[in-house]
Amino acid sequence: MSEGEHESAGLASGLMTTAHEIGAALGVAVLSAIAAAGTASDFAGGYTDAFAVTAAIAGVMAALAAIALPAVRPAPGARVGVH
């Protein structure tokens, strides 16, 4: 948001919020589908699978962030935009 032009701040904020909400809805739908795929006799097994998928995705994202994000500190007194 701090990188964008002042005139388009509302548009950028709306797009960011929309992407967040769509991602949350898709995440819940996919993980619910994985959890529901468990058999009736082993209902907890579906939740175990869903949590395992969630942990794997979190691990991949953490590794990607560690590789892709720069380890550069801003200069003292520099203005840094934070989400």
- Residue 24, phi then psi, degrees to nearest 5: -65, -45
Whether residue 30 has pLDDT greater than 80: yes
For 69-75, what is the mean pLDDT?
77
Asked whether residue 82 is domain-assigned, the answer is no
For residue 3, what are its two tokens?
């990188």
Asked whether residue 7 is domain-assigned, the answer is no
77: left (phi over 0), alpha (psi -120 to 50) or beta: left
Confidence label for 70 from pLDDT (cuts 50, 70 and 90)? confident
Whether residue 22 has pLDDT greater than 80: yes
Which residue range forms the structural domain that includes residue 54? 12-68
Domain count, the chain: 1
Asked whether residue 37 is domain-assigned, the answer is yes
Task: Name the pTM for this structure.
Answer: 0.61
Whether residue 36 has pLDDT greater than 80: yes
Asked whether residue 29 is domain-assigned, the answer is yes
